[in-house]
Amino acid sequence: MDARTIQRLRPLLKRYLGQFEDCFVRSEPTGRLRTYVTGQLSDLPRKSIEPMAEAAGQPPRNLQHFLSRHAWDHRRMRDTLHQIVARDHAHPWSIGVIDETGHPKKGHKTPGVQRQWCGATGKVDNCVVTVHLNYTAGDFHCLLDGELFLPESWANDRERCGEAGIPEDMTHRPKWQIALELHERAVRLGVCFAWLTFDEAYGCVPAFLFALDDRGQRYVAEVPQTFTGWRVKPLLLEDEPYRGMGRPRTFPRLAAKTRSASSVRDLLHHSSRLRKIPWERFHVKDTTKGPMVWEAKAAPFYLKREGLPSRPHWLIVARNVERPDQIKYFVSNAPAPTPLEVLLHVAFSRWHVERCFQDEKDKLGLSHFEVRNYRSLRRHLIVTAVTHLFLAKIHQKWRGGKSGVDGLPTSRGHFSAGAILVAHRTGTTKVPGANSPHHYPDTGTTRPIPAQPRQEKAQTLA
């Protein structure tokens, strides 16, 4: 933003940041919060501390101390951000997206930096990786939270961690465990997710899926083609007489000669039942090269949990009509009546978090941090999320928008922009097999899931 736009927004920004005043006990860091946020909103080519401080006519140490030394409660700021989103943007069809992003760095002093996969550069690079939780409701989206991924090489070197200010109780955790913590905190602070979605880096971990299922959280997870399960629930033995010889068997257990769980790729190619289900076409979005159309099918699916079949889930297979070799596999714990287009809508909603990353990196300097201690990094992530939420609110206000899920009815009964359209559809709007008596019912919604959107009212997903 240029100086004229920021000046126009100054009263709105002051009122917005006033919601975080109880995070501070002194006026000095409060003023530096405004300086930091104003610098992130400016049109500076780089949003690191030094250029932002110089643009504000302040010595760089002021903003350095704001992140590293000043006494203010960044956890309360993070919690307040959650509560603002829960209060102002609650919606019955909200979607949370879990993803990670890399921040290329030089040297070895930045907390968590090492050579690892960096999505920003598309290769193994010297970088810091952070895990994030996105919140999406129609044309509104923001990042709720983010946390550093601490590699094992760092966690095993406590002296190095101490030099970087990494807490003693902070250890190496898989990214999916960090994601669970972000989700748990958001829900505790009042944020409700009708759905979660994430890519196969998280979907490949059954423990992550079961943890979400145990919390009652619906999800649509992309899974790798090697992900295994059963298309038909195998027979379980519940009990048998103990004859007093050898160790008693545990029950329930799989019946003898039960087929092993199969990969989703093998099920697609070799399961006669799955092959008989017809493909249905969906207009996902318009691109500069024309409409993107995918076709999909879904069937009941049983995951392997502690050696036994889980309760019923859905296996969704989608392939690109223009590139039939591009196939995606998804698993969902959605209730039986869920229409297939709803599952696909959630599955293809990950672009929201990618757009948040792009906006925070290009416009707000998310990756421009130059810090050597964990608290400064943590505070930078939180303040950047606060700045981004302000931008999201202004964007919605100026557009006259209202939180609503793409392609699903808004509170006014209309359909918002961005629907997944049915390009060609036959038969029922429900997922095939929805009448299965073994499929667990919908227990987590207070209103019925909408039927297929009216095509004449819907538009494509931008």
Residues 186 and 102 in one domain: yes
Residues 287 and 178 in one domain: no
Residue 273 in any domain: the answer is: yes
For position 445, what pLDDT does the model report? 33
Residue 195 in any domain: the answer is: yes
Q: How confident is the model at residue 211 (pLDDT cuts 50, 70, 90)?
A: very high
How far is it, in rounded angstroms, from Cα 345 to Cα 220? Answer: 10
pLDDT greater than 50 at residue 417: no
Residues 264 and 148 in one domain: no
The answer to whether 441 touches 452, Cβ cutoff 8 Å, is no
How far is it, in rounded angstroms, from Cα 318 to Cα 18? Answer: 46
Residue 207 in any domain: the answer is: no
Residues 361 and 277 in one domain: no
Residue 435 in any domain: the answer is: yes
pLDDT tens digits along 29-57: 899 999 999 999 999 999 999 999 999 99
pLDDT greater than 70 at residue 457: no
Residue 244 in any domain: the answer is: no
Question: What residues make up the domain containing 448?
Answer: 214-235+259-339+423-462
Residues 31 and 135 in one domain: yes
Peptide bond into 448 cis (omega under 30): no
Q: How many CA atoms lie within 13 A of 79 on its CB side?
A: 10
Phi-psi region of 407 (alpha: psi -120 to 50; beta: other; left: phi over 0): left
Residue 411 in any domain: the answer is: no
Residues 64 and 162 in one domain: yes
Q: DSSP code of 171?
A: -
**Beta-ladder partners of 418:** none
Q: How confident is the model at residue 434 (pLDDT cuts 50, 70, 90)?
A: very low
For position 441, what pLDDT does the model report? 40
Residue 250 in any domain: the answer is: no
Q: How confident is the model at residue 234 (pLDDT cuts 50, 70, 90)?
A: confident
pLDDT tens digits along 339-353: 999 999 999 999 999
Residue 460 vs residue 18, higher pLDDT: 18
CB-count exposure of residue 287 (10 Å: 0-12, 13-18, 19+):
exposed
pLDDT greater than 60 at residue 191: yes
Residues 173 and 286 in one domain: no
For position 452, what pLDDT does the model report? 31
Residues 67 and 165 in one domain: yes
Residues 218 and 192 in one domain: no
CB-count exposure of residue 297 (10 Å: 0-12, 13-18, 19+):
buried
Phi, psi dihedral angles at 95 (to 5 degrees): -130, 130
Q: State mean pLDDT over 224-238.
A: 87
Domain count of the fold of the chain: 2
Residues 48 and 145 in one domain: yes
For position 118, what pLDDT does the model report? 97
Residue 401 vs residue 87, higher pLDDT: 87
The answer for residues whose C-beta is within 8 angstroms of residue 327's C-beta and 6 or more apart is 225, 268, 317, 318, 319, 320
Where b means 16+ CB within 10 Å and e means fewer, 194-215 reads: bbbbbbbebbbbbebbebbbee
Residues 329 and 447 in one domain: yes
Residue 317 in any domain: the answer is: yes
Residues 220 and 288 in one domain: yes
Residue 179 vs residue 459, higher pLDDT: 179
Q: Please report the sign of the dihedral spanned by the C-alpha atoms of residue 238, residue 243, residue 246, residue 247.
A: positive
pLDDT tens digits along 264-317: 999 999 999 999 999 999 998 887 888 889 999 999 999 998 888 888 999 999
